[in-house]
Amino acid sequence: MSIPEVDLVVYPDECDAFGHLNQASFLSLFERARWEMLRGGPGMDVFTRNGSWPALRKTVIDYRAAAFPGDVLRFQQVLTHVGRTSFTMRQIARRARDDTLIAGAEFVFVCIDRDGKPTPIPQAFGDYMNAGRSVLDNVQRITVNGVNLAVEVQGEGPAILFIHGYPLDRSIWRAQIDALEGFRRIAPDLRGMGQSDAPDLGYSMSIYAADLAALLDVLGVDEVVLCGLSMGGYIALEFLRQRRSRVRGLVLMDTRAEADTPEIRRSRDAAAATAKERGAAAIADAMLPKVLAAATLGRRPDMAERLRSLMAGTPVPGIVGALAAMRDREGSEALLETLAPIPTLVVVGEADGVTPPAQARAMAAAIPGAKLAIIPGAGHLPPLEQPDATTERLREFLRSLG
C-alpha cells in the first residue's frame, strides 16, 4: 500500500501577472496537499487531538517548471526522516496531464505542545505515513510513471543507486545495503520484479531508466552513483545516455556494453515463450546453474535454493518484458569512451560465465581511467556470492569519490 496521491487545481488567483503559478502559492499548494492527505487518512485533527502541532522549521524547494491556471498538479508525499519529535516530509508536484516535474520540496517539522515544547509525533500520524513502508526494512512504496515500485532506502550521505539484474530483485544487494554506512543506499525493485508492480506492457531500457530518474526525484536525490549488475548495467548505461549530469560515479558489475547478437535475440524470444507456457519456475531452473559459480552451488545450497525461489517468484509479465527490453537494447560501445570524467569501476566475478572477466577487462580498457575489480570465488552475482569482498571494493570506490 502507498499513501494516495493528491490532485489540486491551480487557480488564476494563485498566478502572477505573467500567468505563472507564483512562488508563494507553491508553498500554499504544498500545504494544501498535506492537509488533503491527512483528510483522506488519519484526519486533519490528527495533531490537535493529541495536543500537538506540526511546526514548520525549514523548507527547501526546487522549482523545476512553470505551472499555469487550470493545471492539475499531482502531489506525492513521503517521509524521509522520522525522529521522536521531528520529521521530514518530501513532496513532489507533477503536472497530471503530461507528468512534468513542477517542483520538489522538503519540509522539516517539529511537533510542539501548547507551550511550544517539542512533543512526540502522534502515533496515528506515524502509522499512517509508514503504511507504505515497513520501518524495519526501510522499504517504501513509491509510484512513478504509473507503476508502484518497492524501494529500500537506508542511511545518509552521498547517494548510491543499486540496480539489480534479471530476473531478480533488490535482495541481491542485502549485504551492501546493510554495510555501506555513510552513504544513502537506494535499492528499488525494477518494474515487473520483486515487490514492484508488474504491468503487462511498458518495458524497455529507457522506461526502466525513466522509472529510476523519477524515483530519485521523489526521494530528492539530484546526483547519484549508479551501481548496475548485468541487466542493471544495461539500465545504468541507458540512464547515462539520458541523464548524464545526474551521475557522479558508475559501477558496472557483471555486465556488458554490446547489444544482443541475432542468436541471443532469438534465445530471448524462446525464453519468453517458455515463461508464458511453463511459468517463471522453468526460467529459474534454466538460469540457476548459469548465474552461480560452481563453487557457490557446491558450498551454498541454501543460497542456491533462495535464489531459485526468488527467480521463480518473478511475475511472468516482468520476465517477458525484461527479455524484450534486453533484446531490443542499443549497444553502448561508443558511450564507453565518452564516460570520462565520470569515475567508473568495472566489477566481475572471476567465474562469471554469463559476462566473463575477459569481457569486463575489455570494457574497463575502453573506458578512460576506469578501474577493474575481479572478485575471486564469485560467478555472475558477486554481491550475493562474495558479499564482503564486493562491499569492500564498493566502499573503496565510493570513498575515492570524496
* Site for ligand MLT, rule CB under 6 A: 165-166, 230-231, 326, 354, 380
Max Cα separation, the chain? 73
CB 331, min distance to ligand MLT, A: 13
| Contact yes or no for 184/156 (Cβ under 8 A) | yes
- Residue placing its CB nearer to ligand MLT in the complex, 172 or 398: 172
Closest approach of ligand MLT to the CB of residue 355, in Å: 7
Block residue for cell numbers 506540526: 54
Q: How far is the CB of 356 from ligand MLT (least distance, A)?
A: 13
Q: Which is nearer to ligand MLT, 106 or 258 (CB)?
A: 258
> CB 147 → ligand MLT: shortest distance, Å?
19
**Nearest residue relative to ligand MLT (C-beta):** 165
CB of 250 to ligand MLT, least distance (A): 17
If the CB atoms of residues 184 and 329 are measured against ligand MLT, the closer one turns out to be 329
Question: In the complex with ligand MLT, which residue's Cβ is closer, 353 or 377?
Answer: 353
* CA pair distance 27, 67, nearest whole angstrom: 13
Tell me whether residue 34 or residue 380 sits nearer to ligand MLT (CB atom): 380
Q: At what angle do helices 280-291 and 262-278 cross, to 10 degrees?
A: 130
Rounded-to-integer distance, Cα 260 and Cα 245, Å:
27
Least distance in Å: CB of 200 to ligand MLT? 21
Cβ 321 to ligand MLT shortest distance, Å: 13
Nearer to ligand MLT, 33 or 231 (CB): 231
Cβ proximity to ligand MLT: between 140 and 176 the closer is: 176
Strand order in the sheet with 247-253: 133-134, 139-144, 147-154, 184-188, 159-163, 224-229, 247-253, 344-349, 371-375
Minimum distance from CB of 143 to ligand MLT (Å)?
Answer: 25
CB nearer to ligand MLT: give 125 or 166: 166
